[in-house]
Amino acid sequence: MPRVRLDRVTKIYRRQSRQFLWRFLLQTLGGRRAEPIYALRDVSFELASGQAMAVIGRNGAGKSTLLSLVAGLTAPESGLVEVDGRVLALLELGSGFHPDLTGAENLRVNAALCGLTRRQTEERFEEIVEFAELADFIDEPLRTYSQGMILRLAFSVAVHADADILLLDEMIAVGDVDFQRKSFRRIREMKQQGRILLCVSHVPEILKELCEEAIWLESGRIVLRGPAEQVIDAYVAGAPLYESSP
């Protein structure tokens, strides 16, 4: 069974200067350490199969760092990150894309990056192209694509990969309204099949729809945790979009 567990996880970034070699020598010889910036402090939670959790907070609160830690892209300073199952990280769509390669070539590279085997890629090729609505353009170089087409292709590859744990960073709303509806349905399906979902978004409606639980991060700490509805409402009330006129 897939599972995600974080136990008192702290992540620190250190200020980096350009002359890294000199600073490195200063630190090792002179014992001077750069002043740390806490991206996450003492964060703990656990998610089991079929659970979906929303992560909300201001810019720089530590949301993306949290997803990077679960994806294994970066290591914690202290604490424990336990992940059982295959992770699919939709942190930045189209990371491996190259403008000079065709849609089909990029599709295959991306499928491999998402963990598909050669056979799986060929079996799902048509389905991925169809889902992305790109059948007429798939042999064109990617640089001729619009931004929306590129995102659709990347998203389509990702949701056709086998993963137990899905990390979404602002990647739920991609493409036009029809495509958004379709991808949203697809993500909900994946959740019903028992996948774990960890979502970062600034769109409260989407998060409420998709997740039953939420955590609110503020300067790297969890300030509120509970049912998605309540936490998100509290966050929105604390940071209202529009000032209500008296």
Binding site for other proteins (CB under 8 A): 13, 16, 20-21, 24, 68, 71-75, 83, 86-87, 89, 91-92, 95-96, 98, 100-101, 105, 108-109, 112-113, 115-118, 121
Summarize the chain as % helix, strand, coil (round to 5). Answer: 40, 25, 35
Q: CB nearer to other proteins: give 16 or 245.
A: 16
Q: How far apart are CB 126 and other proteins at their closest, in Å?
A: 18
Q: How far apart are CB 69 and other proteins at their closest, in Å?
A: 10
Contacts of 46 (CB under 8 A, 6+ apart): 3, 4, 5, 6
Q: CB nearer to other proteins: give 95 or 230.
A: 95
Q: Distance from first CA to last CA of the chain, Å, rounded? A: 52
- Cβ–Cβ under 8 Å, residues 225 and 56: no
Q: CB nearer to other proteins: give 87 or 211.
A: 87
> Sheet containing 87-90: which strands, arranged edge to edge?
87-90, 165-169, 196-200, 52-57, 213-218, 221-227
Phi, psi of 220 (to 5 degrees): 85, -5
The residue type of 9 is: V
Q: CB nearer to other proteins: give 21 or 241.
A: 21
Q: How far apart are CB 68 and other proteins at their closest, in Å?
A: 7
Q: CB nearer to other proteins: give 71 or 134.
A: 71
Q: How far apart are CB 143 and other proteins at their closest, in Å?
A: 10
Q: How far apart are CB 53 and other proteins at their closest, in Å?
A: 19
Cβ atoms < 10 Å from Cβ of 233: 14
